[in-house]
Amino acid sequence: MLDDQLKQQLSSYLQLLQQPVVFTLDAGDSANGTKVRDFLNEVAALSPKLSIAEGHLKRQPSFTLDAQGAAPSGITFAGIPLGHEFESFVLALLQVSGHAPKISEKVRQQIEAIDQDLHFETFASLSCHNCPDVVQALDIMSLLNPRITHTMIEGGMFQDEAEANDIMAVPTVFLNGEEWHNGRATLEQLVNKAQGKAALAAVNDDVSDKLYDVLIVGGGPAAGSAAVYAARKGLSTAVVADHIGGQPLETVGIENLIGTDYIEGEQLMQNIRAQMTKYHVTLIDGQTVTGLTEGSPVQVQLKGDTTLQGRTVIIATGAHWRNIGVPGEAEYKNKGVAYCPHCDGPLYKGKNVAVIGGGNSGVEAAIDLAGIAKHVSVLEFGPKISADAVLVAKAQSLDNVDLITNAQTTSIKGDGRVNGLTYTDRATGDSKSLSVDGVFVQIGLVPNTSWLSDCLDMDKQGEIIVNEKGATSLANVFAAGDCTNSAYKQIIISMGSGATAALGAFDALAREVTVKA
């Protein structure tokens, strides 16, 4: 279950255990139960402070983690927490054993003050990059408040339960048996939501009161590159974003980053985040930016009435997946219509799915899904598949992938969840139908610039117009990456434009002249 490298990594973490931890296992009598038992046996064999007891739990197979002789932690894992959830498992082990969660005292007090019974259940997939943030946050809440419990449910192993609850996207959180939350969230946002407040992460006064030389809006590779370049110039630099990571988090493998043969998107952004931390960039995560006001300094407004200030501002908000805009798309979003094959793909094991879009993203999605789904149909609007030749060849080599060209999707059908779609064959004009359980939309990007209104010049696609230095139409405001009118949308191009914008901002600051009477 655990390879040698993973065992070595886990062994080093287990040396940090403070108190003995007991796994209480209810494996049931299924093959999956045997897998969970084998997993725990392998883990327990790595430390004398770990042991396994038998018990009766709500789901089989599942297990709890509790400090020996202490009150229950309230944390349960249903399934095997590998993949992206392995970090959640390790953190839960360490925290149950006595390591205090690294959270602010304010948030700790909020959690401890909750005076009602909250029983959370999170459906997750092991390939989901958004799920661990939610799982880890709810585990912390369970650990700190005896009235709160949390169960992570691995959707692939509990697919029947996921289907019974109409769960077609992760993470999906149930609270006391009712669907409560979908998608990424920070601990602060979930705590506030549990208290009936707006789901906003707090911004400390020492952060909001500071005037930054460079204030960067966005959390992807363009923002990270801009932050590193600005900080290395000795400028006080801050990054504000709803989450640090951006589009690469939805990319499993990157093979065209020059000098790096292969890297996963999440690992790339972890590396960039670590580099920003190394250069003391202030990271303001979990925020929604709502507006920009020109001036000296430039003002950036956040949801919740907080304002940040920068002598210069770099906008690097990236882009999001474009909707196809056909009947049924909005109605069945998260009920069979999805945009991230890596996150939601495992929920479609053994099912028929369609991918809308024949570019690199669409064909890459089809290749990934082919290893999970029964059959994958790729629908491309144009007369030929436009993805790179190497990707097309790979897709064509797969027996369960069909590439359909001249296909204009006209509607998505369902009866509470997706069960089909219709498209028009643009070559013949015939209307055709496909019986599918899921539709993954991969038809390009829309810039995340709607929050800017008309405060600076943009093209008809809503992309920010920049010059050769990354400057916009507003003084001391720069932009970079997929939110701009760059000709191509690629990670390496975003990084380059981020560096350009940072150097442009540095140049603007260096040329400022202070006139004294």
104 belongs to a structural domain: yes
330 belongs to a structural domain: no
366 belongs to a structural domain: yes
Do both 167 and 303 map to the same domain? no
Closest CA to 243 of 133, 101, 106, 127: 133
Binding residues: 213-228, 472-482
* Structural domains of the chain, count: 3
- Residue 231 in tokens: 């900080």
Closest CA to 13 of 89, 74, 120, 84: 89
Tell me whether residue 343 is one of the annotated catalytic residues: yes
Do both 286 and 163 map to the same domain? no
Give the predicted TM-score (pTM) of the model. Answer: 0.80
Catalytic residue, candidates 66, 139, 242, 344 = 344
Do both 467 and 356 map to the same domain? no
Instruction: Please give the single-letter amino acid code of residue 213.
Output: D
CATH code where residue 129 lies: 3.40.30.80
pLDDT value at residue 516: 37
- Residue 480 in tokens: 């970079």
Domain boundary among 161, 195, 229: 195
Catalytic residue, candidates 343, 368, 437, 483 = 343
Q: Which residues, other chains included, contact 202 with Cβ-Cβ below 8 Å and sequence gap of 6+?
A: 104, 106, 107, 188
Q: Which residues, other chains included, contact 42 with Cβ-Cβ below 8 Å and sequence gap of 6+?
A: 1, 2, 7
pLDDT value at residue 517: 36
Contact 142, 149 (CB under 8 A): yes
Binding residues for FAD: 213-228, 472-482
306 belongs to a structural domain: yes
Scanning the structure block, which residue is given the tokens 């006064």? 205
Do both 262 and 401 map to the same domain? no
- Residue 35 in tokens: 């897998």
Q: 113: how many CB neighbours lie within 10 A of its CB?
A: 10
Helix 86-97 with 4-14: angle, nearest 10 deg: 20
Contact 395, 355 (CB under 8 A): no
State whether the Cα torsion 170-82-221-307 is positive or negative.
positive
Mapped onto helix, strand or coil, the DSSP state of residue 13 is: helix
149 belongs to a structural domain: yes
Q: What is the per-residue DSSP string for 119-179?
A: EEEEEE-TT-SSHHHHHHHHHHHHHH-TTEEEEEEETTTTHHHHHHTT--SS-EEEETTEE
Q: 285: how many CB neighbours lie within 10 A of its CB?
A: 17
Contact 150, 77 (CB under 8 A): no
Do both 27 and 148 map to the same domain? yes
Do both 464 and 430 map to the same domain? no
329 belongs to a structural domain: no
Catalytic residue, candidates 340, 368, 437, 483 = 340
Do both 61 and 183 map to the same domain? yes
Cis peptide upstream of residue 297 (ω within 30 degrees of 0): yes
Classify strands 237-240 and 282-284 as parallel, antiparallel or unpaired: parallel
Do both 388 and 353 map to the same domain? yes
427 belongs to a structural domain: yes
pLDDT value at residue 199: 65
CATH code where residue 231 lies: 3.50.50.60
Q: What residue numbers bound the domain in which 360 lies?
A: 337-443
Do both 39 and 165 map to the same domain? yes
Do both 135 and 153 map to the same domain? yes
Q: How far apart are CA 51 and CA 38, in angstroms?
A: 13
Do both 41 and 136 map to the same domain? yes
Q: How far apart are CA 484 and CA 491, in angstroms?
A: 13
457 belongs to a structural domain: yes
Which residue stretches of the chain have pLDDT < 50?
A: 514-517
Do both 458 and 427 map to the same domain? no
Domain boundary among 140, 161, 195: 195
pLDDT value at residue 514: 41
Closest CA to 312 of 220, 247, 206, 237: 237
- pLDDT tens across 391-434, in order? 999 999 999 999 999 999 999 999 989 999 999 999 999 999 99
Domain boundary among 145, 172, 195: 195
